[in-house]
Each structure stands twice: as C-alpha cells, then as structure tokens.
Amino acid sequence: MATLTISNVTKTFGKTEVIHGVSIDVADGEFIVIVGPSGCGKSTLLRMVAGLETVTSGEISIAGRRVNDVEPMDRDIAMVFQNYALYPHMSVFDNMAYGLKIAGTAKPEIEERVAQAAQMLQLEPYMARKPRELSGGQRQRVAMGRAIVRKPAVFLFDEPLSNLDAKLRVQMRLEIKELQKRLGITSLYVTHDQVEAMTLADRMIVMNAGRADQIGAPLEVYADPATEFVAGFIGSPA
C-alpha cells in the first residue's frame, strides 16, 4: 500500500489554477523526487501535503488517512526546508528535541532518539552549539536530524540543498542517499536540479507548469522522455 497518496489534486490561488490535477503514489520506503523549473508548482504541491496550503480539489492521504482537513501538527510528516528554519536561540540538541517535547515524548526516549540521529549525522561534537555557530552543511544536518527523530510516515524536502555551495551540495546529496538506504525513509523531495533528482530518486516526477508530465525511474525518464518538455529538461545537452 502507498504511504502517501495524492489523487487528482488541484490548487487555485485567487482565480489562477497553478496545480492542474496531479496524482502521485509514494510506496512505503520509496524516495520520490519532484523535479521541474522554478514556478512549476513544486513547493505548492509539497505545502499541500504538509498542510501549509489548503487543497482546492482532490485528495491527499498519509498512511491510509485522508488528511485534507487535518492540521499540519497532526499530520504524520516532517518537513525539511531550504532555509533550515532552525530556532536561533536554541542549542542543536534542543532544536532536534523540540518537536518531540511538544509531542509529549518521555525524556529518556527523546535523549535516545536525538543521540542516535546525532551519531548518524555526525553532529555529536556540536550538540551544545547554537545554529549561528555552525556551517551551512551542519545546519542542514540539524534540520534533517530534527525530522529524523520524529520518525514520521513521510519526509518532505523542499530544495534542502539549494543554499549550499556546489561542493557541499554534492557531499550532502551522498549523505542523504546513504540515510535513505539506512532508514528506508519514505520521502517526497523537491528540487529544480536535474542531477540531484537523477541521483536520489527511486522514481522521479517531472513537473511542467502545474502538471506531472512524466513519472518513472530516472533512467527510464532519461532514456524515454514522455514529452518534448521532459526531453529538454532532463535530456543530455546536445
């Protein structure tokens, strides 16, 4: 069964429809990447799954539960943003523990989960630091740690690496891939970067102006693009 189901979802802002009926099934443990140019509707789609935008029509289900009208806090998801959205006044430990504290998780359980995530993300030496005392890559790891400790049904990533320099981006890509293998995390990952999509995705969705032009394994999409747009966006440079 799919962990996340998006069925024929549309989104209208004012009088303008920006998502025109997108359907995606994300299987348990699957890493799905939504790739497309700026403005094609990637963030809007993700924000609807997260509950940060209402769904105009269609249905979203997480772990078998229809969530159209469920508050963000009550959805079984965790989101990682491009700007990290860490709490500047809190230590790394407290940033990672915060969501669990709010959820009423017992202290020993919080400490165990945070320690585990810190070890996995090589953050152990930095647990007492504030976000401003970290590098961009370390901050991004904290943002991922905060998501991991909550053990959500679905991870949502919105261009998490786009604020990092090119070298770090490549390194973090490998780390995310490694985490994905280790944790078998079910993920919906948004990027405008074709290489990132090809590297990370079990299946990728190529979005074009509010529509999913193609859904398939990266090599399948690369070798057999469904539309001219996909060919131009994913295809090898001439």
What residues line the site for Mg ion (CB under 5 A)?
43
One-letter amino acid for residue 40 of the chain:
C
Q: Is 160 in the site for ligand ADP (CB under 6 A)?
A: no
As measured in angstroms, the least distance from the Cβ of 18 to ligand ADP is 4
As measured in angstroms, the least distance from the Cβ of 94 to Mg ion is 28
Measured from the CB atom, the residue of 179 and 207 that comes closer to ligand ADP is: 207
Quick one: which segment of 32-40, 89-97, 130-138, 169-177 binds ligand ADP (CB under 6 A)? 32-40
Question: Of 47, 66, 40, whose CA–CA distance to 208 is shortest?
Answer: 40
CA distance 117 to 2: 26
Q: Is 82 in the site for ligand ADP (CB under 6 A)?
A: no
As measured in angstroms, the least distance from the Cβ of 95 to ligand ADP is 25
- When binding is defined by CB under 6 A, the residue of 3, 31, 35, 44 that contacts ligand ADP is 44
With CB under 5 to 8 Å by kind, the binding choice for 41 among Mg ion, ligand ADP, none is ligand ADP
Token digits of residue 58: 């269609």
Q: Cβ distance 6 to 24 under 8 Å?
A: yes
Measured from the CB atom, the residue of 39 and 184 that comes closer to ligand ADP is: 39
Q: Is 43 in the site for ligand ADP (CB under 6 A)?
A: yes
Measured from the CB atom, the residue of 41 and 96 that comes closer to Mg ion is: 41
Q: Is 39 in the site for ligand ADP (CB under 6 A)?
A: yes
As measured in angstroms, the least distance from the Cβ of 75 to ligand ADP is 19
Q: Is 212 in the site for ligand ADP (CB under 6 A)?
A: no
Count of alpha carbons within 13 Å of 230, Cβ hemisphere only?
A: 21
As measured in angstroms, the least distance from the Cβ of 50 to ligand ADP is 12
Contact positions toward ligand ADP, by CB under 6 A?
13, 18, 36, 38-44
